[in-house]
Amino acid sequence: TGGAAGPMMLTSLLQAAVTNSYSIDLEREADEEGFRILVEAGFPPSALVTALEAMENDQLRRPHVDMGVFMTHPEMKERVQYILQMAKEQNIPIMRKDALHLLRTDVRDADGRLELTVDGASLWSVAGTETNRARLEEIKEKIDRFFQMETVPYEIEVIARDGKQGLRIGPSLVVAEPLPEGAEPLGTFRAALVDALNRAKEKHSGVIYMP
């Protein structure tokens, strides 16, 4: 009987490999179907990506056990990568901040001045006039659109154009001289944006953000 045990064990391992490979393929198909349903329903697939990234980060914090042929699910990293690839192939931008409720901006009154804030922290302050309030609201709209979790610090830059300074985020010129009355320097604004971006990324850690 000892001689028969080896082939029987090998057969069992092969069966496990085939069955579990099938399970992995099914889960991949389920992810792809979930992605398709979200897109067709008009929802951005960012929530699916961020949920899987959070699970991947949790997985990284625990001891890893290589299950080999007994693995029944794709690795989280692999699942995230092929969903991101699907989004890229379909020209669907992944913008994580809405799903994560991060990088939320606001304009608020503060001791006679107006502050532009993100996630409750001050980014930039100007004199508290109604003209400045309208200007800050315009700046806020640009930041809401172009200041993303996927933004990298070098895309936030103080630039000079036609002898005037301005602040850009990615392709957007967010604000340019003449600045609002009583405005803090643009260098201060840029530094606050970079700090806010880093804080947000720390809250959703373990992710390599691609612009």
pLDDT in tens, 55-99: 776 766 665 545 443 344 557 778 878 888 887 888 888 888 888
Contact between 105 and 196 (Cβ < 8 Å): no
pLDDT at 21: 46
Determine which of 32-46, 94-108, 163-177 has the lowest per-residue pLDDT on average: 32-46
Q: What is residue 197's predicted lDDT score, i.e. its pLDDT?
A: 96
List the single range of 80-89, 104-113, 178-187 with lowest mean pLDDT: 80-89
Dihedral sign for Cα atoms in the order 21, 23, 25, 31: negative
The whole-number pLDDT of residue 17 equals 42
**Averaged pLDDT score across all residues of the chain:** 81
Write out pLDDT tens, residues 1-19: 454 444 444 444 345 444 4
Statement: residue 107 has pLDDT above 60: yes
Work out the average pLDDT over 20-45: 71
My answer on whether omega of the bond before 171 falls inside 30° of 0, hence cis, is no
pLDDT in tens, 132-173: 999 999 999 999 999 999 899 999 999 998 899 999 999 999
Q: Which helix (H) or strand (E) holds 116?
A: strand 113-118
Burial of 50: CB neighbours in 10 Å, binned 0-12, 13-18, 19+:
buried
Q: pLDDT grade, residue 188 (50/70/90)?
A: very high
Dist CA 109 CA 185 (whole Å) = 19
Residue 53: its pLDDT value, please?
75
CB 58 within 8 A of CB 105: no
**What pLDDT score was predicted for residue 43?**
74
**pLDDT of 11:** 45
Given a cut of 90, is residue 24 above it in pLDDT?
no
- pLDDT at residue 1 in the model: 46
- Any idea which of 43-47, 125-129, 135-139, 174-178 has the lowest mean pLDDT? 43-47
Residue 181's pLDDT band, with cuts at 50, 70 and 90, is very high
Residues 175-181: what's their mean pLDDT? 96
